[in-house]
Amino acid sequence: MGMWVGRGRKARRCYGFDEIALVPGEVSINPNEVDSSWQFAGKRYKVPIIAAAMDGVVDVEFAIKMGKLGGLAVLNLEGVQTRYEDPSDILNEIANATPERATELVQKIYQPPVKEKLIKKRIRQIKAAKVTAIVSAIPQKAETYGKVVQAAGADIFVIQSQVSSATHISTEYKVCDYGVLCRSLRIPVMIGNAVTYKMTLQLMELGARGVLIGVGPGAACTTRGVLGIGVPQVTATCDAAAARDTYHKKTGIYVPIITDGGMTTGGDICKAFASGADAVMVGSAFARANEAPGGGCHWGMATPNINLPRGTRIRVGTTGTLKEILFGPARTDDGTQNLMGAIRTSMGSVGARTIRDFQETEIIIAPAIKTEGKVFQSAQRIGMGK
Residue 7 forms part of a structural domain: no
Q: What is the pTM of this model?
A: 0.95
| Domains contained in the chain, number | 1
pLDDT at 199: 96
Residue 166 has pLDDT above 80, yes or no: no
Residue 312 forms part of a structural domain: yes
| Domain limits for position 241 | 28-385
Report pLDDT digits (tens) over 138-157: 998 999 999 999 999 999 99
Contact 334, 265 (CB under 8 A): yes
Residue 84 forms part of a structural domain: yes
Neighbours of 77 (CB within 10 A): 26
Residue 8 forms part of a structural domain: no
Q: Which residues contact 18 (CB under 8 A, 6 or more apart)?
A: 367, 369, 370
Residue 166 forms part of a structural domain: yes
Confidence of residue 73 (pLDDT cuts 50, 70, 90): very high
As annotated, the active-site residues are 221, 223
Helix (H, G, I), strand (E, B) or coil at 278: coil
What's the CA gap between 276 and 361, in Å, rounded? 9
Residue 2 forms part of a structural domain: no
What's the CA gap between 161 and 193, in Å, rounded? 6
Report pLDDT digits (tens) over 262-294: 999 999 999 999 999 999 999 999 999 999 999
Residue 14 forms part of a structural domain: no
- CATH number of the domain enclosing 55: 3.20.20.70
Residue 73 forms part of a structural domain: yes
Report pLDDT digits (tens) over 196-246: 999 999 999 999 999 999 999 988 888 889 999 999 999 999 999 999 999
What percent of the chain has a predicted confidence (pLDDT) above 70?
A: 100
